[in-house]
């Protein structure tokens, strides 16, 4: 099986949106508030890319199967919408994408990489901790009293 990691372009916006929605579909109804990833569209992704955000896309045998979006934020490079379609999970694609973001951060001169993960998703928290990310804060989404999101950071 041939696996190719490449930088995504605005021409990939529809593919990126499809991957994000497919990967986050399992969280529908499990997260409060609902993940904004479920409402991504080709238009919203294209707008992000046109606004200076970046993205990586993984293809296996020519089929898009995973992606991640990233952007500068508060002096670090922040990534989100890390998405691996269910049929391709467990093959090391998430760590591959995270490593690509970390390499991008180094090239751009950022001191660290940050991400947000939901409190309700401990398996995802463990994944990122295993890649060297540490919790730096917890936040509550608007309208919530208890924290719903964790910010994690890795110094490069």
Q: Is the CATH code 3.90.700.10 the one for domain 3-110?
A: no
Q: How confident is the model at residue 8 (pLDDT cuts 50, 70, 90)?
A: very high
Each domain of the chain, given as residue ranges in start order, spans: 3-110
Query: pLDDT, tens digit, for every residue of 51-70?
Result: 989 999 999 999 999 999 99
* SS3 at position 62: coil
Average pLDDT over the chain, rounded to whole?
Answer: 96
Q: What is the largest CA-CA distance in the chain?
A: 47
Q: How confident is the model at residue 107 (pLDDT cuts 50, 70, 90)?
A: very high
Say which residue the tokens 């919530």 belong to. Answer: 144
Residue 1 has pLDDT above 80, yes or no: no
Task: Give the integer Cα–Cα distance in Å for 47 and 72.
Answer: 15
Taking alpha carbons only, the member of 17, 41, 20, 36 closest to residue 142 is 36
b vs e for 99-121, b when ≥16 Cβ sit within 10 Å of the residue's Cβ? ebbbebbeeeebebbbbebbeeb
């Amino acid at each position: 099986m041939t696996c190719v990691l490449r930088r995504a372009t605005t021409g990939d916006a529809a593919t990126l949106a499809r991957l994000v929605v497919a990967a986050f579909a399992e969280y529908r109804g499990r997260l409060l508030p609902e993940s904004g990833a479920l409402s991504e569209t080709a238009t919203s992704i294209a707008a992000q890319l046109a606004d200076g955000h970046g993205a990586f896309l993984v293809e296996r045998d020519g089929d898009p199967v995973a992606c991640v979006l990233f952007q500068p934020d508060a002096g670090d490079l922040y990534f989100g919408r890390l998405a691996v379609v269910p049929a391709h999970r467990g093959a090391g694609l998430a760590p591959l994408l995270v490593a690509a973001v970390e390499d991008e951060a180094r090239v751009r001169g950022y001191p660290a990489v940050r991400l947000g993960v939901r409190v309700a998703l401990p398996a995802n928290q463990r994944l990122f901790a295993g890649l060297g990310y540490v919790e730096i804060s917890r936040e509550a989404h608007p309208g919530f009293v208890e924290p719903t999101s964790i910010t994690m950071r890795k110094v490069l």
